[in-house]
């Protein structure tokens, strides 16, 4: 994919007029203030207190303290010049018991946020559910209980009523795949279950929640723009013998969520133990789940690879593909990886966009997340030179331009994330932000990638090439203390 490398024509590097540039965050990852103003507990408050579940026992109790630093965050967004901000609503802040009584103080926080965004000309894009389920609902069975889907419809109606005059664009659910895989199959995320029967029920109910939320948002907001966010994960087979396993994994990870929404049915080749049982799928459910959507949200970080190989002879980093003897998950050794261990393959995004363009019948697709963790640090000059992240963004934007050229309606890009935050089971050790957060003081500091991204947004085009490092300190100049200095052209660190 080199058609757009430096030297490619300027027109070829431009994004379409009206392309929506944004950044994203989610409530539990940034807000902190878990006991403030009547918020109820979420499954993540419980999970982080379960020994051994989160790196170093980190919690979201304080996180980026965004609940109390709303104005600071909006100032960062303003300085980036983005047209949109994707945030999520903390369900237990708004409905502390999951359903029923509304906590007005919680709603008021989101009201203040969207008012401030609109005042700065930044379009609010709200995610109804980004993983912080009220513990009260978990106590009644969580996503394995159909009532949770109904409760999410109730939440969406409350949000439509409170914020619908200011928020027109809504994402119903974020990555149902991760709720099911990590929450119900491998137990690495809240609520930490490992039970395929519960997972099968969760699949159906989280999709149903998307359906109820879509219905409520459309009923409550004239002209609402509504869609789900999926993290469709490409599986590539490296040889013919591994191809059937790749198809099966595509059903288990991707088509099980895409097909119901886009076609109204579960894929026939889905792993039998994950197929939602008939008694859970009531008349009308599939029609509700497949009601028209306005866009597809796509989170893309990396693809996967499988190859045929003897299970007795695994190489380092490989593991068997469950249910497919003689097939292994594999990482081609020549691929660059981020500190998460995730392969960096921008052309995987291009190919996925082309696939989804076909599957959605040409719906607009927003990249609702894309980004990378890196071992960022503050230099003695007081800057954060995250060139790895700049290269990551650059490559993926190039891939989006190629998809656009191929005719895909990519309508926007939201970088993950506005700032370093609580990265779920990884805690604070994985930094995904365009801004460095000094956890403890809560100070935010612009990274080099923020300047790069600001330039992309300002020009609505891909810069000729990522900027090279610019070591700046003159001889004899004193070294600023960590966190003291500011980047050139940066908004004041707040
Ligand atoms: C996605 C999540 C998001 C963030 C990124 C790195 O799966 O939606 O909250 O953690 O990964």
Q: Whose CA is nearest to atom 9 of ligand 1?
A: 26
452/92 Cα distance (integer angstroms): 36
Q: Which residue's structure tokens are 């026939």?
A: 268
Residue-level pLDDT at 81: 98
pLDDT digits (tens, 9 = 90+) for 95-148: 999 999 999 999 999 999 999 999 999 999 999 999 999 999 999 999 999 999
Q: Which one from 31, 138, 175, 252 is the annotated catalytic residue?
A: 175
Residue (of 186, 176, 172) closest to 256 by Cα position: 176
Q: Are 276 and 200 in contact (CB under 8 A)?
A: yes
120/118 Cα distance (integer angstroms): 5
Cα 179 to chain centroid, rounded: 12
Looking at the DSSP bridge assignments, the partners of residue 461 are 14
Strand, helix or coil for residue 166 = coil
Where are the extended beta strands (E) located within 231-309?
A: 235-237, 296-299, 304-308
Region at 52 (left for phi over 0; alpha for psi -120 to 50; beta for the rest): left
100 CA to middle of ligand 1, Å? 29
Residue-level pLDDT at 465: 74
422 lines ligand 1 (CB under 6 A): no
Longest dimension (CA), the chain: 76
pLDDT-derived band at 469 (thresholds 50, 70, 90) equals low
Q: Are 148 and 99 in contact (CB under 8 A)?
A: no
DSSP 197: H
Tell me the two tokens of residue 362: 């040409």
pLDDT digits (tens, 9 = 90+) for 217-242: 999 999 999 999 999 999 999 999 99
312/362 Cα distance (integer angstroms): 44
127 lines ligand 1 (CB under 6 A): no
132 lines ligand 1 (CB under 6 A): no
Residue-level pLDDT at 467: 54
End-to-end CA distance of the chain: 39
54 CA to middle of ligand 1, Å? 15
Average pLDDT, the chain: 94
Q: Which atom of ligand 1 is nearest to the CA of 432?
A: 6
pLDDT at 9 over 90: no
68 lines ligand 1 (CB under 6 A): no
Catalytic: 175? yes
Q: Are 144 and 198 in contact (CB under 8 A)?
A: yes
pLDDT digits (tens, 9 = 90+) for 41-69: 999 999 999 999 999 999 999 999 999 99
17/460 Cα distance (integer angstroms): 8
Handedness of CA 265, 268, 269, 272 (dihedral sign): positive
pLDDT digits (tens, 9 = 90+) for 374-432: 999 999 999 999 999 999 999 999 999 999 999 999 999 999 999 999 999 999 999 99
As a whole number, mean pLDDT of residues 249-255 equals 98
Residue (of 261, 253, 338, 258) closest to 293 by Cα position: 261
C-alpha Rg value of the chain to the nearest Å? 22
Catalytic: 369? yes
Residue-level pLDDT at 432: 98
pLDDT-derived band at 490 (thresholds 50, 70, 90) equals very low
Task: Kindly state the percentage of the chain with pLDDT values over 90.
Answer: 90
Residue-level pLDDT at 4: 44
Q: Whose CA is nearest to atom 4 of ligand 1?
A: 423
pLDDT digits (tens, 9 = 90+) for 283-318: 999 999 999 999 999 999 999 999 999 999 998 889
Q: Are 243 and 187 in contact (CB under 8 A)?
A: no
402 lines ligand 1 (CB under 6 A): no
pLDDT at 473 over 90: no
Residue-level pLDDT at 8: 61
432 lines ligand 1 (CB under 6 A): yes
178 CA to middle of ligand 1, Å? 9
User: Could you tell me whether strands 365-369 and 435-438 are parallel, antiparallel, or unpaired per DSSP bridges?
Assistant: unpaired
> What are residue 64's phi and psi, to 5 degrees?
-90, 5
CA distances for 454 relative to 21, 197, 458, angstroms: 10, 46, 6
Residue (of 236, 464, 456) closest to 367 by Cα position: 456
- What residue ranges do the domains of the chain occupy? 11-231+343-459
Q: Are 296 and 360 in contact (CB under 8 A)?
A: yes
Reported as half-sphere exposure (CB side, CA atoms, 13 A), residue 384 has a value of 33
Crossing angle of helices 346-359 and 387-405, rounded to 10°: 30
25 CA to middle of ligand 1, Å? 9
369 lines ligand 1 (CB under 6 A): yes
pLDDT digits (tens, 9 = 90+) for 133-178: 999 999 999 999 999 999 999 999 999 999 999 999 999 999 999 9
Structure pTM?
Answer: 0.94
CATH for 11-231+343-459, options being 3.30.830.10, 3.20.20.80, 3.40.50.1370, 3.40.640.10: 3.20.20.80
Question: Which of 132, 416, 434 most suits a substitution to test ligand 1, by most atoms within 8 Å of the C-beta?
Answer: 416
pLDDT at 270 over 90: yes
pLDDT at 450 over 70: yes
- In degrees, rounded to 5, the angle at the alpha carbon of residue 286 between the alpha carbons of residues 284 and 292 is 105
Q: Which atom of ligand 1 is nearest to the CA of 424?
A: 10
pLDDT digits (tens, 9 = 90+) for 352-365: 999 999 999 999 99
Q: How many helices (H) and strands (E) does the chain have?
A: 15, 14
Residues 6+ apart with CB under 8 A from 316: none
H runs (alpha helix) in 96-134: 104-119
39/25 Cα distance (integer angstroms): 19
Residue-level pLDDT at 472: 47
Question: Which of 188, 369, 374 most suits a substitution to test ligand 1, by most atoms within 8 Å of the C-beta?
Answer: 369
212 CA to middle of ligand 1, Å? 24
Tell me the two tokens of residue 14: 């431009």
CB atoms closer than 10 angstroms to residue 406: 12
166/186 Cα distance (integer angstroms): 39
Q: Which one from 369, 385, 402, 423 is the annotated catalytic residue?
A: 369
Residue-level pLDDT at 440: 92
């Amino acid at each position: 994919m080199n058609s757009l490398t430096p030297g490619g024509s300027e027109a070829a590097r431009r994004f379409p007029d009206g392309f929506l540039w944004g950044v994203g965050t989610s409530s539990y990852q940034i807000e902190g203030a878990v006991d403030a103003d009547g918020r109820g507990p979420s499954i993540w408050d419980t999970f982080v207190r379960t020994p051994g579940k989160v790196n170093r026992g980190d919690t979201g109790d304080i996180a980026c303290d965004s609940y109390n630093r709303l104005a600071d965050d909006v100032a960062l967004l303003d300085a980036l010049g983005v047209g949109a901000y994707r945030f999520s609503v903390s369900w237990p802040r708004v409905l502390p018991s999951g359903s029923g009584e509304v906590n007005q103080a919680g709603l008021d926080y989101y009201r203040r946020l969207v008012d401030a965004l609109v005042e700065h000309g930044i379009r609010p894009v709200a995610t109804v559910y980004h993983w912080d389920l009220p513990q009260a609902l978990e106590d009644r069975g969580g996503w394995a209980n159909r009532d949770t889907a109904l409760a999410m419809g109730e939440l969406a109606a409350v949000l439509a009523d409170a914020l619908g005059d200011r928020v027109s664009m809504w994402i119903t659910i974020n990555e149902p795949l991760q709720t099911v895989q990590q929450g119900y199959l491998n137990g690495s995320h809240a609520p930490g279950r490992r039970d395929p029967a519960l997972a099968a029920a969760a699949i159906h109910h989280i999709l149903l929640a998307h359906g109820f939320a879509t219905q409520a948002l459309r009923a409550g907001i004239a002209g609402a723009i509504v869609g789900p966010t999926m993290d469709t994960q490409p599986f590539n087979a490296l040889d013919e013998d591994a191809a059937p396993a790749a198809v099966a994994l595509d059903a288990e990870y991707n088509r099980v969520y895409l097909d119901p929404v886009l076609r109204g049915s579960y894929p026939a080749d889905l792993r039998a133990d994950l197929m939602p049982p008939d008694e859970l799928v009531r008349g009308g459910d599939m029609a509700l789940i497949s009601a028209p959507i306005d866009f597809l949200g796509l989170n893309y970080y990396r693809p996967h690879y499988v190859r045929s190989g003897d299970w007795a002879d695994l190489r380092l980093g490989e593991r068997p593909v469950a249910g497919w003897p003689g097939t292994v998950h594999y990482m081609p050794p020549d691929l660059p990886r981020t500190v998460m261990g995730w392969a960096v393959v921008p052309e995987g995004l291009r190919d996925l966009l082309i696939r989804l363009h076909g599957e959605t019948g040409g719906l607009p697709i927003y990249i609702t997340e894309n980004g990378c963790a890196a071992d960022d640090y503050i230099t003695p000059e007081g800057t954060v030179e995250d060139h790895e992240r700049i290269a990551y963004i650059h490559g993926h934007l190039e891939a989006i331009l190629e998809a656009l050229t191929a005719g895909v309606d990519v309508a926007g890009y939201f970088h993950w994330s506005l700032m370093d935050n609580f990265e779920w089971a990884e805690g604070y050790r994985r930094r995904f932000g365009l801004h460095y957060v000094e956890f403890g003081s809560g100070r935010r500091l612009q990274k080099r990638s923020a300047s790069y991204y600001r330039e992309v947004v300002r020009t609505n085009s891909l810069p000729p090439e990522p900027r090279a490092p610019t070591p700046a300190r003159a001889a004899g100049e004193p070294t600023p203390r960590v966190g003291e200095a500011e980047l050139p052209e940066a908004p004041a660190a707040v």
